[in-house]
Amino acid sequence: RFTLQSAAKLVVLAGALEDLGPAAVFATVGTEPSGESFASIAQLDSRGPRPANPLINAGGIALCGIVPGTLEERIAWVEGWARRLCGTELHISSRVYASERRTGDRNRSIAYLLRSSGILKDRVDDTLDVYFSLCSLEATVVQAAHLGCVLACGGVAPGGQRVLSEETASRVVALMASCGMYDESGTYLMRTGLPAKSGVSGVIVAVALGRGGVGVSSPRLNARGG
């Protein structure tokens, strides 16, 4: 088992598109590649106030900020969407969550910058607790592949149950193709032909449109964190 880390941004993106609607989502985040590292502060400060896209850290934090409810309700919302998209209950790793909170100074800087520009309207600490919980969801390659399969099949899970609208699945896959592998997304797509989203734990969730999902896990990362 491994934590999904940034691959879990697919969960909050898909859930927000379904429950809050694309207008609310894209008023909060953009749809363009950032051209910078996944945790860039300079990009947000110079080209903001919206994060460039929902699949970088700033975008994930911003979307966690628009999930309604109390802190407990928001974390339950994340867990609920993870269950729907991955086909089974996913648990939050308390050890990784504690590590995320202890070492998350760069993400705190991003969150305070979002707060100062008005993109983040909720308390920074609560939003980061939701975000750190999201990144700390534990999964297996089978569960990661299940998520990819739902997206590959237009929102229909293995077994035939529809869990996302076709429009939401299409939007998420498009963003994976253009932004999912950060500043090497174009190179990755050209080499593999598979829209994908990586996480710093070594997971990649990829989509073979109309065919199925792919989940891989390796602790080895390249210099760009992919």
Residues annotated catalytic, as ranges: 6, 9, 131, 182, 200
Q: Rounded to whole angstroms, how far apart are CA atoms 108 and 159?
A: 41
C-alpha closest to that of 127 among 73, 77, 62: 62
Q: Is 220 exposed, middle or buried (0-12, 13-18, 19+ CB in 10 A)?
A: exposed
Per the CB < 8 A criterion, the answer to whether 120 and 108 are in contact is: no
Q: Rounded to whole angstroms, how far apart are CA atoms 126 and 133?
A: 11
Give the CB-side neighbour count of residue 103, counting CA atoms within 13 A.
6
Contact residues for 70 (Cβ-Cβ < 8 A; gap 6+): none
